[in-house]
């Protein structure tokens, strides 16, 4: 295991904890690779029936490591390891529960949406800032969870959604007191792990087929291929990085 991702296995449940608390668990290439490798490994492990994904410290995930991402953009690169990790989680055949212990912004919000079930602490918050950065973030996934009109509002405005509102609009399954979050998620994951694993996997596949749109996923990917690295994207991302970087490790929100 990498230092940036810890794993605990118990009762058929694999608990993955993103471990960059000083960066609010923002994804650098190391964390993106670690998540991708673990998801692939757990998919092939018949002893694992459920995966829980959470963050260390006070944040779930702040999205991409903006300093590293800006360096890549300004050097002419277009790689996005976090997007690949999100896609891998989305395609994982077993149930994934997001244990959202704090803010989930940008790619972190997309990562939460890639999970099947979202249980949030009262300290959780969400933001889909793609339009502010010159990209499309979660346009293919958010509408099937909160509806088209609400998804457009959240994506077009890039505003923060606090935990109470997130529960009200169906962005999370439920909100629980922060000190009961891990216990609540463990109980839920164990309940799932006790069911027929084949039936649960097929149920997930059927539900995803009924609600997900391959066309929308492909269109979002096409949009970001066109947008990523454009002058507008680079300028907006640079400005956002300059605002956020001084607060890394603190509580300021993107």
The domain that contains 150 carries what CATH number? 3.90.226.10
Given a contact cutoff of 8 angstroms between Cβ atoms, the answer to whether 107 and 27 are in contact is yes
* Strand 117-121 versus strand 96-100 pairing type: parallel
Counting as low any pLDDT under 50, the low residues of the chain are 247-254
Domain span at 20: 5-178+197-247
| Cα distances (angstroms) measured from residue 179 to each of 56, 125, 165, 197 | 14, 16, 20, 30
102 assigned to some structural domain: yes
For residue 189, tell me if it sits in a domain.
Answer: no
DSSP 27: B
Long-range contacts of 142-149 (CB under 8 A, 24+ apart): 142/113, 143/216, 144/211, 144/212, 144/213, 145/113, 145/170, 145/171, 146/170, 146/171
What tokens appear for 96 in the block? 């994934």
Residue 141 covered by a domain: yes
Name which of 90, 69, 178, 81 is nearest 134 in CA terms.
69
Which of 53, 7, 12, 8 is CA-nearest to residue 195?
A: 12
pTM attached to this predicted model: 0.91
Residue 187 lies in a domain: no
Grouping H, G, I as helix, E, B as strand and the rest as coil, residue 15 is: strand
Say how many C-beta atoms besides its own lie within 10 A of residue 224's C-beta.
20
Phi–psi pair at 136, nearest 5 degrees: -110, 120
Residue 193's Cβ-side half-sphere holds a number of Cα atoms within 13 Å equal to 22
Q: Is residue 254 part of a domain?
A: no
Inter-residue contact 94 to 40 (CB < 8 Å): no
Domain presence at residue 186: no
Confidence at residue 69, expressed as pLDDT on a 0 to 100 scale: 72
- How far apart are the C-alpha atoms of 51 and 39, rounded to whole Å? 9
Rounded-to-integer distance, Cα 232 and Cα 176, Å: 40
How far apart, in Å, are the Cα atoms of 237 and each of 5, 128, 179, 228? 26, 14, 35, 10
The answer to the question of residue 34 being in a domain is: yes
Q: How many domains does the chain have?
A: 1
Q: Is residue 83 part of a domain?
A: yes
Q: What local confidence, expressed as pLDDT, does residue 245 receive?
A: 60
C-alpha to C-alpha distance for 4 and 19, rounded to whole angstroms: 5
Give the three-state DSSP class for 127: strand
Whole-number pLDDT of residue 250? 41
Which residues make Cβ contacts (< 8 Å) with residue 218, sequence separation at least 6? Answer: none
């Amino acid at each position: 295991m990498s230092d940036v991702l810890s794993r605990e296995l118990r009762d058929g449940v694999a608990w993955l904890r993103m471990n960059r608390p000083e960066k609010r668990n923002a994804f650098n290439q190391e964390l993106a690779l670690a998540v991708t490798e673990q998801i692939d490994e757990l998919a092939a492990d018949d002893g694992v029936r459920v995966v829980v994904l959470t963050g260390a410290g006070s944040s779930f995930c702040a999205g991409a490591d903006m300093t590293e991402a800006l360096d890549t953009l300004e050097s002419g690169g277009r790689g996005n390891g976090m997007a690949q990790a999100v896609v891998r989680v989305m395609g994982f055949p077993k149930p994934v529960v997001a244990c959202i212990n704090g803010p989930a912004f940008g790619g972190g919000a997309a990562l939460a949406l890639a999970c099947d079930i979202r249980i949030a602490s009262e300290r959780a918050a969400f933001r889909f800032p793609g339009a502010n950065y010159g990209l499309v973030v979660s346009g293919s996934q958010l509408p099937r969870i909160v509806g088209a009109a609400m998804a457009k509002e959240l994506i077009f405005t890039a505003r923060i959604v606090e935990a109470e509102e997130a529960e009200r609009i169906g962005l999370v399954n439920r909100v629980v007191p922060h000190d009961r979050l891990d216990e609540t998620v463990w109980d839920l994951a164990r309940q799932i792990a006790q069911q027929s694993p084949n039936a649960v996997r097929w149920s997930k596949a059927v539900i995803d087929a009924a609600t997900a749109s391959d066309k929308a996923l492909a269109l979002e990917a096409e949009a970001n291929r066109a947008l990523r690295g454009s002058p507008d994207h680079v300028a907006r991302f640079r400005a956002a990085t300059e605002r956020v970087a001084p607060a890394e490790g603190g509580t300021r929100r993107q």
